[in-house]
Amino acid sequence: MSRAAVFVGLKSMVPGVQFYANWSADSPPQKRGPFAILRWQEESPKSGMHRGPRILDIWIHIPIGTSRDHADIDPLLDQIKWAMEQLPGTTGTDGYTVIDVTCTGDGPDFLDTGYDSISRNTAFEILSNVVP
């Protein structure tokens, strides 16, 4: 499903944002800058195919002590979308190659009391393959 290509690609192309896999950060990072949580969801096979794109939600967080303005998240979402568009053709250390990336939209403004941050998400359909 190309987790490695996406994770490494985002880390290298979106400076200033810390990236974490879902469930890997139970509390906000110690560094008080923006951070993102990558949440992989279901795979949606298309008609007549045994595989399809996998849905990826990327949640951007900015600690409330840094900003309470959701407009500060917009440029970060733009950087992430640009980086994701660069990934087709990238093979990760897990052997999966990103074939296609489609942005499916952004979520609403959100206040995350668990991370004590403001947040928004953007979602993608990621199509990948692996050569056995």
In this structure, whether the domain defined by 3-25+33-130 belongs to CATH 3.40.50.720 is answered with no
The reported pLDDT for the residue numbered 92 is: 94
CB neighbours of 98 closer than 8 A, spacing ≥ 6?
Answer: 2, 5, 6, 87, 88, 89, 90, 91, 92, 126, 127, 128
Mean of the per-residue pLDDT values for the chain?
A: 90
DSSP states of 88-103 = TT-B-TTSEEEEEEEE
Mean pLDDT of 35-61: 85
Which residue, 17, 18, 37, 15, is CA-closest to 26? 37
User: Confidence band (pLDDT; 50, 70, 90) for 43?
Assistant: confident
Q: What whole-number distance in Å separates Cα of residue 64 and Cα of residue 29?
A: 13
Highest mean pLDDT among 28-37, 44-53, 80-89: 80-89
Per-residue pLDDT of 22-37, as tens digits, reads 866 666 666 779 999 9
**Is pLDDT above 80 for 54?**
yes
The reported pLDDT for the residue numbered 110 is: 96
pTM summary value = 0.89
Strand partners, 73: none
Q: What whole-number distance in Å separates Cα of residue 100 and Cα of residue 80?
A: 15
